[in-house]
Structure 1
Amino acid sequence: MTSADDLRAVRAGLDHARTVIARAARHTDDVLRALPAPEHRSPEQHAAARAVIDATRTLRATFLTAHVDAVYDELTSGRTRHLRVTELAHAAAAAFPGLVPTDEQLADERARSQAHKEGLEVDQGIFLQHVLRSPQAGPHLLDAMLRPTPRALELLPEFSRTGKAELASVRVERTGTVARLTLCREDSLNAEDNQQVDDMETAVDLALLDPAVEVGLVRGGEMTHPRYRGRRVFSAGINLKTLHRGGISLTDFLLRRELGYIHKLVRGVLTDDDSAWRSRTIEKPWIGVVDAFAIGGGCQLLFAFDHVIAAADAYLSLPAAQEGIIPGVANYRLTRAVGPRLSRQIILEGRRIFAREPDARLLIDEVHDHGDLDAAVERAVERFQGSAVLANRRMLNFAEEPLEAFRQYMAEFALQQSLRLYSADVIDKVGRFSTASTTGSHTPVQEK
Structure 2
Amino acid sequence: MSDLLVTLQTLDDTAIVTLNRPEKLNALNLELVSALRDTLLAVANDARLRLVIIRGAGRSFCSGLDLDMMAAEGMPPEFYPVQEEAFRLIETMNKLVVAAIHGYCLGGGVQLAIACDLRIASDDTVLALPAINEGLFPGMAPYRLPRLIGLGLARRYIYTGDPIPLDLAHQIGLIDWIIPARSFEDELEKLLQKLRAVPFTAAIHGKQLMANAFDQSFSAAYHDSLWRLEQCLSSDDVARARALWMERKQSRTAQRP
Q: Tell me the CA shift for residue 211 of structure 1.
A: 2.3
Contact 2:132 2:138 in 1 (8 A): no
Which among 181, 187, 190 is matched to residue 370 of structure 1? 181
Per-residue CA distance 1:211-233 (angstroms, 9 max, x = gap): 221111001112xxxxxxxxx31
Alignment-derived partner of residue 134 in structure 2: 323
> Greater share of strand residues, 1 or 2?
2
Q: Tell me the CA shift for residue 354 of structure 1.
A: 2.7
Aligned pairs for 1:376-391 within 5 A: 376-385=187-196, 386=198, 387=200, 388-391=202-205
Aligned pairs for 1:25-36 within 5 A: none
Measured in 1, the distance between the counterparts of 2:162 and 2:17 equals: 28
Q: Tell me the CA shift for residue 401 of structure 1.
A: 5.6
Measured in 2, the distance between the counterparts of 1:220 and 1:366 equals: 17
Which of structure 1's runs of 4+ aligned residues deviate more than 3 A?
none
Which among 298, 301, 308 is matched to residue 119 of structure 2? 308
Q: Tell me the CA shift for residue 377 of structure 1.
A: 2.1
Q: Does 1:243 align with 2:80?
A: no
Amino acid at match of 2:170: A
Per-residue CA distance 1:7-62 (angstroms, 9 max, x = gap): xxxxxxxxxxxxxxxxxxxxxxxxxxxxxxxxxxxxxxxxxxxxxxxxxxxxxxxx
Contact 1:353 1:360 in 2 (8 A): no
TM value normalised by structure 1: 0.45
Structure of higher CA gyration radius = 1
Alignment-derived partner of residue 349 in structure 1: 160
Q: Does 1:255 align with 2:69?
A: no
Alignment-derived partner of residue 191 in structure 1: 27
SS of aligned partner of 1:395: helix
Per-residue CA distance 1:95-133 (angstroms, 9 max, x = gap): xxxxxxxxxxxxxxxxxxxxxxxxxxxxxxxxxxxxxxx
SS of aligned partner of 1:309: strand
Contact 2:169 2:175 in 1 (8 A): no
* Percent identical residues: 26
Which among 188, 194, 211 is matched to residue 397 of structure 1? 211
Per-residue CA distance 1:378-435 (angstroms, 9 max, x = gap): 2332333322211111111121466xxxxxxxxxxxxxxxxxxxxxxxxxxxxxxxxx
Q: Tell me the CA shift for residue 286 of structure 1.
A: 0.2
TM value normalised by structure 2: 0.77
Per-residue CA distance 1:316-339 (angstroms, 9 max, x = gap): 100022011121110011112222
Q: Tell me the CA shift for residue 244 of structure 1.
A: 1.8
Measured in 2, the distance between the counterparts of 1:325 and 1:358 equals: 25
Let me know the Cα RMSD of the aligned residues.
Answer: 1.8
Q: Structure 2: which 5+ residue stretches go unaligned?
A: 217-257
Measured in 2, the distance between the counterparts of 1:284 and 1:345 equals: 32
Contact 1:314 1:354 in 2 (8 A): no
Equivalenced residues, count: 212
Contact 2:60 2:104 in 1 (8 A): yes
Per-residue CA distance 1:159-187 (angstroms, 9 max, x = gap): xxxxxxx8131110002211001111021
Which among 89, 92, 104 is matched to residue 267 of structure 1? 92
Measured in 2, the distance between the counterparts of 1:253 and 1:299 equals: 17
Change (3 A) 1:238 1:337: same
Q: Does 1:177 align with 2:13?
A: yes
Q: Structure 1: which 5+ residue stretches go unaligned?
A: 1-150, 152-165, 223-231, 269-282, 403-448
SS of aligned partner of 2:65: coil
Aligned pairs for 1:12-91 within 5 A: none
Per-residue CA distance 1:55-93 (angstroms, 9 max, x = gap): xxxxxxxxxxxxxxxxxxxxxxxxxxxxxxxxxxxxxxx
Alignment-derived partner of residue 358 in structure 1: 168
Alignment-derived partner of residue 28 in structure 1: none
Amino acid at match of 1:203: T
Q: Tell me the CA shift for residue 301 of structure 1.
A: 1.0
Q: Tell me the CA shift for residue 350 of structure 1.
A: 1.4
Alignment-derived partner of residue 289 in structure 1: 100
Change (3 A) 1:255 1:303: same
SS of aligned partner of 1:288: strand
SS of aligned partner of 1:168: helix
Measured in 2, the distance between the counterparts of 1:203 and 1:328 equals: 21
